[in-house]
Chain A
Amino acid sequence: MRKTWAIMRRELLKLGRNPLTIFTSVLLPIIYLIIFGNSFQGVLKHLPVVIVSEDSGPYAIRVMEQMQALAAGPKTIAIVYDTDAGAAIQGVRDGVYKAALIIPPGFSHNIAEGRIGELGLFTDNVDTISAATLTGVLGQATDVIRTSYVTAREPKLNQIVLRPSNLFTTVDYDRSLLPGVIVMAMFMGSLTSGVFNWVMDRFMGITECYLVTPLSRWNLAAGVLGSSVLVTSIASVIVLAVGLLITGGTITGGAPAAAMLVGVIIIGATGILAMTFVLLARANNPRIVGASAGFLNVILYFPSGAVYPVESFPPWLRAFAHYNPETHAVAAIKSILFKGANFAAVSNDLAFLVIFSSIMLVIASMTVKRTL
């Protein structure tokens, strides 16, 4: 135990003397939270749309009213009016507008005569997200024109009314990113405090002075992994606390849920750390670890359900996500943080993390060579 503690103490002292290395593990996820939480707002807003109305009939006026409602209410679009359809379409081509809505002459007349009333929507379909959103919301707005005015109090008997009810407290988009950034902190901390230091020691020849001592491979593995789990867990809890402050939320479920969150963070950090050891501990140059960090972050983070539901992935990516430890860490943290889930509700994810961490710890310990 004294030997393992000596290794742990060395790692902790070194990290304590270089707090900047751990600070980056805290700072990057928080910056990610701030930038992504504010740049991707979940619902798109203020998309510039140019409207050219070449019809002055009642249905054209209804369309204009619907567009103005979209601009005033959810602020999905920002309207610019024009009289020249060609110039409006060119404006879309030039990137000035995301779409041009053309109300052609005779639009109202056609509808009144019972014919199809066609509207022209020219979208900047290179920007697929904006184009899809505009096609959807403008389509809904124009659909309304064809139906009679209906109030919520007086539904027609033959109309289906959907009444949405939230089971959980509303989670804003930026707050929904929080489980992901906590897991990102776990990943960053694992790399900077664990495997990077290990490979750097080998690169500098310092490993040689361990290997000539009676330290066993288990002493070495337990000391390095133990100190790294401790530091990574602290960094992740800091990210959780700062993230809650930034997004203005609390932990649904109070103190018991907070304790469970810390437990998930420790188990998850152990698994991710051990996995990075398995993958990178034999590298001879710390640059290999640095170069692999971005690559691993992308392939673990994005398929984890942190930003997009796993269920919507194609089958092959869903299969990968199923075995991705970050998927289960995100799911468990999300459940505890936002849903106030009890132990039973997250037991499957926890079970996966415990088994995964145990297997990875054994393999990671075996990667520690006792000779050069």
Chain B
Amino acid sequence: MESHSAAIQARELTKTFGTFTAVDHVTFEVQRGELFGLLGPNGAGKTTLSRMLTTLITPTSGQGLVAGLDVAREPVRVREAIGVIPQALTSDLDLTGWENVDLYGGYYNLSRRTRRERAEHLIHMVGLTERANDLVQTYSGGMRRRLEIARGLIHSPQVLFLDEPTIGLDPQSRRAVWELLQQLRKDTGLTVSLTTHYMDEAETLCDRIAIVDGGKIIAIGSPAELKAMVEGSDRIELEVQGDNEMVIAMLRRQPGVHEVARDPDGPIIVTVDDGAHAMPKIIGEIENAGATVSSIKLERMSLEDVFIRFTGRRLRDEPARKGGFFSSSFGMPVPPGR
């Protein structure tokens, strides 16, 4: 279903490099104000998808609309409407934080006054006012990333694209970037497209997530919806004093219970849909059957589990693709690993 309020629309978007299909007929929509995640392992195709939507790569077929503008037909207007934080740290090390942001404003033809006002506000927003006049080479990775977020917002874009914004950052810096993005959304209602291969990042930040693998979207929805798509999304581990075999047989008859298993001399593992609500009922049934629960643990399904259910494997790193001497030296097209 097409929506006129959609900030991003991908319709059968496809990108091939020779015989290699990096993105394969992908269709999705991101509403205005939404923080949308593209989640998948390295090589899944999410960066290629993002690059098509940010006009860095021309789609082989299909259509991409950003802020209602066709990425292939109106790339300049799309570029005016978007802010992009690429995966690599791209701020100039030899320039100060202020110069990085100010110069970037020049690329968007902003007046000196507008640049100054916006840069002051944004640098303050990312918490770098004290360090604004220091060379970026003295910044930590997290500070550089925050500066680049400020830089990407200098022209007040309608849609912000972030490609793996916390890759390579320490946990504290990652947390700082997350907080910045959450604050940014709260303050501005900006539409954000976030590409990541970190499950926790997607789960913490995103309203909706598209799980990408093999160049295709294999599932899409909010984190809760994605988990609900998988039967038996929660695991309850029980240690029971009494007749364990009788308890297992009783639990298998309970509604909402998908699976009951037990490792030899280990706990009983019950797979249920809604663990938080199922737990008191299970405890009650066990006690009614004359046994006692000595310990109980609830494990909620993570996005990692969802990913495994949909793809049959864990998130993994693809091996780097090798280019030939000439292709790697002189920019001849090499499949970019999706």
Which residues of A approach B to under 8 Å, CB–CB?
Answer: 2-3, 5-7, 9-10, 13-14, 17-18, 202, 204-206, 208-216, 282-285, 288, 369-372
Residue of A nearest to B154 (CB): A213
**Inter-chain contacts of B109 with A (CB < 8 A):** 2-3, 214
When each residue 45-57 of chain B gets 1 if its CB lies under 8 Å from chain A and 0 otherwise, what string results?
A: 0000001001111
A205 and B94 contact, Cβ closer than 8 Å, known pairs A6-B103, A17-B135, A371-B58:
no
- Docked complex Cα distance between A10 and B92 (Å): 9
Residue in A10, A204, A212 whose beta carbon sits within 8 Å of that of B103 in the complex: A10
A213 and B103 contact, Cβ closer than 8 Å, known pairs A205-B90, A371-B55:
no
- Residue in A17, A205, A214 whose Cβ sees the most chain B Cβ within 10 Å: A214
B55–A212 CB distance below 8 A: yes
Least CB distance from B74 to A in Å reads 11
B95–A13 CB distance below 8 A: yes
**Which 4 residue pairs are nearest across A and B when measured between Cβ atoms?**
A6-B106, A205-B88, A212-B84, A213-B107
**Inter-chain contacts of A204 with B (CB < 8 A):** 88, 90
A371–B94 CB distance below 8 A: no
- Docked complex Cα distance between A10 and B105 (Å): 12
B80: CB under 8 A from chain A?
yes
Residues of chain B in range 99-127 having any CB-CB distance to chain A below 8 Å: 99, 103-110
B328–A284 CB distance below 8 A: yes
A371–B56 CB distance below 8 A: yes
**Inter-chain contacts of A6 with B (CB < 8 A):** 103-107
B185: CB under 8 A from chain A?
no
Residue in B51, B86, B103, B331 whose beta carbon sits within 8 Å of that of A205 in the complex: B86
Residue of B nearest to A202 (CB): B331
Least CB distance from B187 to A in Å reads 23
A5–B106 CB distance below 8 A: yes
A13–B86 CB distance below 8 A: no
Residue in B57, B79, B87 whose beta carbon sits within 8 Å of that of A214 in the complex: B79
B330–A18 CB distance below 8 A: no
**Inter-chain contacts of A282 with B (CB < 8 A):** 330-331
When each residue 257-285 of chain B gets 1 if its CB lies under 8 Å from chain A and 0 otherwise, what string results?
A: 00000000000000000000000000000
B190: CB under 8 A from chain A?
no
A210–B107 CB distance below 8 A: yes
Residue of B nearest to A10 (CB): B103
